[in-house]
Amino acid sequence: MAIVTNQPAAAKQKTTKANLEAVHKAIVDEIEKAGGKIQSSHICFHRSEDNCACRKPRTGLLEEAFKQNPGYAKDTSWLIGDGLTDIQAGQSFGLKTIFIAAHKCDTCQKALTENLRPTLWSNNLWSAADSIIQ
């Protein structure tokens, strides 16, 4: 499993990059303590107006993740996300997508309006993972 995430809070001066990295490390540590395996993490610290290639919905982070972790086929890989940019990036890159959106009904409506059709919709990360495993 690889993590690809947009984290612009430091660029927006809401926190520091060190704080974002510490939170990210804590999340990875908890996942691994629970038995999960994170093969790599790919973080975009830019703001959307920076127009970088790594920030989702662009696919730079996904390209980096697949390059760093060879042997995975895009057509059998999944991107799980709770934002429209996650689904857009996953679809643009040729991945199956799961949209976690139970708590974001307005976002669900926007996805439908923009003709974004994730492979699956899920209420939470646990049910998303269950869907993939099954």
What digits encode the pLDDT tens for the residues 38-67? 999 999 999 999 999 999 999 999 999 999
Structure tokens at 59: 């696919």
Closest by alpha carbon to 4, among 73, 49, 91, 63? Answer: 63
Helix, strand and coil content of the chain, in percent to the nearest 5, comes to: 45, 15, 40
Share of the chain above pLDDT 90, in %: 78
In single-letter form, the type of residue at position 82 comes to D
Residues of the chain with CATH 3.40.50.1000: 1-72
Q: May I ask the CATH class of domain 1-72?
A: alpha beta
Average pLDDT estimate for 109-119: 80
What digits encode the pLDDT tens for the residues 93-108? 999 999 998 655 677 7
Torsion sign (Cα): 118, 122, 128, 131:
negative
Dist CA 44 CA 118 (whole Å): 22
pLDDT band at 86 (very low <50, low <70, confident <90, very high): very high
Whether 116 shows a pLDDT value over 90: the answer reads no
